[in-house]
Amino acid sequence: MRWKNVLFSMAVYRLSRRRPKLMKAVLRRGAAAALPAGFDVDTHFAPSYDPWDQRLCAVPDGDLFRAVREGRADVVTDHIERLTPDGVALRSGRHLPAVVVVTATGLNLLAIGGMRLSVDGRDVELPETLAYKGMMLSGVPNFSLTVGYTNASWTLKADLVAHYVCRLLRHMDAHEHRAVTPRRPRPEGAGRPRTADRTEVRVRAAKRRAAAQTGPRGAVAAVPELPPRRAPDAGRGGPVTDGVRFTGATRPAHRLPTTEK
pLDDT the model gives residue 220? 38
Same domain, 144 and 92: no
Q: Does some domain include residue 144?
A: yes
Could you tell me the residue range of the domain that residue 11 belongs to? Answer: 2-73
Per-position pLDDT tens, the chain of length 261: 777 878 888 899 999 999 999 999 999 999 999 999 999 999 999 998 999 998 888 887 899 999 999 999 999 999 999 999 999 999 999 999 999 998 876 667 777 888 899 999 999 988 888 888 889 999 999 999 998 887 888 888 899 899 999 999 999 999 999 999 998 865 554 445 544 444 444 445 555 555 444 333 333 344 455 554 455 555 566 788 888 999 986 554 444 444 444
Domain count, the chain: 3
Per the CB < 8 A criterion, the answer to whether 71 and 85 are in contact is: no
Altogether, the residues listed in the chain come to a count of: 261
Do 213 and 118 fall into the same domain? yes
Whether residues 121 and 222 fall in one domain: yes
This prediction has a pTM of 0.65
257: in domain? no
**Residue 256 in domain:** no
Q: Do residues 81 and 16 share a domain? A: no
- Both 123 and 224 in a single domain? yes
Same domain, 13 and 47: yes
Asked if the structure places residue 152 within a domain, the reply is: yes
Q: How far apart are CA 223 and CA 145, in angstroms?
A: 11
* Same-domain pairing of 234 and 173: yes
**Residues 130, 228 within the same domain:** yes
CA angle 218, 220, 221 (to 5 degrees): 110
150 and 42 in one domain? Answer: no
Is residue 259 situated within a structural domain?
no
Is 85 found in the same domain as 35?
no
Smallest CA-to-CA distance from 181 within 190, 189, 172 is with 172
In a domain, 254, yes or no: no
Same domain as 243, residue 122? yes
Last residue of a domain, one of 82, 104, 126: 104
Give the pLDDT of residue 200. Answer: 44
Alpha-carbon span 193 to 210, nearest angstrom: 18
User: Do 180 and 236 fall into the same domain?
Assistant: yes
Q: Identify whether 204 is part of a domain.
A: yes
For residues 166 and 158, the answer to whether their CB atoms sit within 8 Å is: no
pLDDT of residue 111: 77
Is residue 149 a part of any domain in this protein?
Answer: yes
Helix, strand, coil % over all residues of the chain, rounded to 5: 35, 10, 55
